[in-house]
A and B are shown apart, each in its own frame.
Chain A
Amino acid sequence: MWFEDLLIQIKSVLVLNAPEGLRPILSAMLSATPILSAFGGLFAAVTLLERKMLGRIQNRYGPNRVGPFGIFQPVADGIKMLTKEDIVPKTADHSIHFLAPLLLLLTAMLGLSVIPYGEKLVAIRFEAGIVFFFAVGGAAELAVFMAGWASRNKYALLGSLRAIAQMVSYEIPLILSSVCVLMAAGTLSLDEVAKSQSGSMLSWYIMTPWGLMGCVLFLIATLAEVNRSPFDIPEAESELIAGHMTEYSGFKYAVFFLAEFVAMFAMCALTATLFLGGYHPPLPILAFIPGPFWLFAKLMVLVLLFIWIRGTMPRLRADQLMEFAWKFMLPMAVINLISTGCWIALGRGSLGWGLSALINLAAYGALSRWLSSRPNQQKRTYRFAEGPMHAA
């Protein structure tokens, strides 16, 4: 509490000392600056962390040349990106080529504005906050398309079309799996959702069967939405070089990178808010540590999970990705809605808990059985040659 009050005090002092006409703008800027700078710093830290952790997963050191343990690597990267030549293909559509990374970054950053960082720390308190979040997230598809189309490159165009198809398909399970939380919380406002999970860890939604399933589905859809492995098909480097970013260089490329990471942070923050209790500490005793810390801690856990997944998995094929969205994610999300409904209808008690778990388990079992009976999921046995060789 004290931390949030302190921030609010500082802001009000600053705003009240400003001339009348500037106050709204100053207030908005004072809300936006800490968020943007915090996530900007986090971006730098996570690029390093990702490379370090991937290195360790692959039994390497990762970057360790710039500064002690390579901690100045992001700075070096930034300088490199800034000083690189900005190459725009001659045939490219220059204005759109220029606007695309900016639009992408804008949509990614707008999503951060509705996340509750503390009980009183919400940049914009929308009643339909989550709808806002998904609405601006939807605009990212347009930016990706602009990038791919304006580059006038086949790989870029293919990559952007794949990206759009993937984002549109996974938005459905993404939204559906978040709807179960909205049903339980009875609101579309994210700070209300966070508030409804106050108390200890046990009151987080992930502690319910539907919440767990919803969280898993949401995370998988998030991976697809932010083009992370194993759904990084739009940027599949073994097929499409770098997808829609193929023709970008220098700072614009860095902006794409930044936008991708910020989108990932935003999605992770949303996951934390929806399923992991947002800014609430896992135990009430720990409430003396301010809320933003908890939110960022949960966000980091999810980011580390993403990096871990990235270090493990091969990439799906585009059609298999769609298949997975429509044949597993969507039915599972819909069943999860039913199971949430049962949980709510049965008074949110242990009975509802059991029934919900049962429904989810049965559905998961049936779906995975069906999926693993497909011809490309077979467990094969191999024979060893007996008898004479094939004649040469």
Chain B
Amino acid sequence: MTTVFCITALTTLASAVAAMSLRNLVHCVLCLTVSFIGMAMVYLQLSSQFVGFAQVMVYVGAVAILMIFALLMTRGGQELFMREWRPMHWLVGGLVSLALLAVLVGSILQSPVIQNTGPVDKVERVKDLGQSLVYEYLLPLEALALLLTVALIGAALIALPPKQYPIKPQPRENS
């Protein structure tokens, strides 16, 4: 168990580092995907199948693809914009990541999981998960669903084609 965990953890971390430091943005996204898969493996090792698979489905199948589309549709997929040293950027970036780290560490320390140090013995049942979603966390679930629907409608609105595509025949060059 521990060796497998070590391998996954190392891969995840290494690919995360690579995702930040590689020069080619598409490579970065692909490395990020590897680290997503590593996270899913960690979930699986915690006997939480559903979450692991959902992680793969959502992050690999959707989020990574979304990032790739965003990358390719904007200009300069290959260009590197951190060649110059910009102290302000580093400062702000560092602050934000520190804050994020603080939030994460804080919430982990407060959660009851931290007391449970031994291996997880209770196998999570998909049914339990579903029931807790529908009974216990119904309101957040519905709020989330509403949010996603709004996002979807917004996306559809943005993607609506203009009434008439504004293409006119251009003057020919040779005639």
Contacts and interface: CB of A to CB of B under 8 A. Distances in A.
Q: Do any beta carbons of A and B sit within 8 angstroms of each other in the complex?
A: yes
A300 B162 CA distance: 46
B50 A135 contact: no
Interface string B53-89: 1101100111011001100100000000000000000
A149 interface: yes
B62 A138 contact: yes
B57 A131 contact: yes
Majority-rule SS of B interface residues: helix
A127 B125 contact: yes
B53 A128 contact: yes
B62 A142 contact: no
Contacts of B33: 142
Contact of B61 (A126, A141, A146): A141
A76 interface: no
A122 interface: no
Interface in B95-137: 125-126
B49 interface: yes
A145 B65 contact: yes
Nearest to A134: B57
Contacts of B69: 161, 164
A366 interface: no
Interface string A39-58: 00000000000000000000
B62 to A, nearest CB: 7
B72 A132 contact: no
A168 B64 CA distance: 12
A139 B49 contact: no
A188 interface: yes
A136 interface: yes
B65 to A, nearest CB: 6
A171 interface: yes
Contacts of A161: 69, 72
B9 interface: no
Majority-rule SS of A interface residues: helix
Interface residues of A, number: 25
B30 A96 contact: yes
B132 to A, nearest CB: 15
B120 to A, nearest CB: 15
Contact of B126 (A127, A137, A138): A127
B46 interface: no
A131 B33 CA distance: 18
Given A127-B49, A128-B53, A135 B60 contact: yes
A141 B65 contact: yes
B26 interface: yes
A157 B72 CA distance: 10
B68 A145 contact: yes
B54 A138 contact: no
Contact of B53 (A132, A141, A149): A132
A131 B26 contact: no
Nearest to B33: A142
Given A135-B54, A161-B69, A188-B126, 12 more contacts: A128-B50, A128-B53, A131-B53, A134-B61, A135-B57, A142-B33, A142-B64, A142-B65, A145-B68, A146-B30, A187-B126, A188-B50
27 contacts: A96-B30, A126-B53, A127-B125, A128-B49, A128-B50, A128-B53, A128-B126, A131-B53, A134-B61, A135-B53, A137-B61, A138-B56, A138-B60, A138-B62, A139-B60, A142-B33, A142-B61, A142-B64, A145-B65, A146-B30, A149-B26, A164-B69, A168-B61, A168-B62, A168-B65, A187-B126, A188-B126
Which 5 residue pairs are nearest across A and B when measured between Cβ atoms? A138-B61, A135-B56, A135-B57, A131-B53, A135-B53
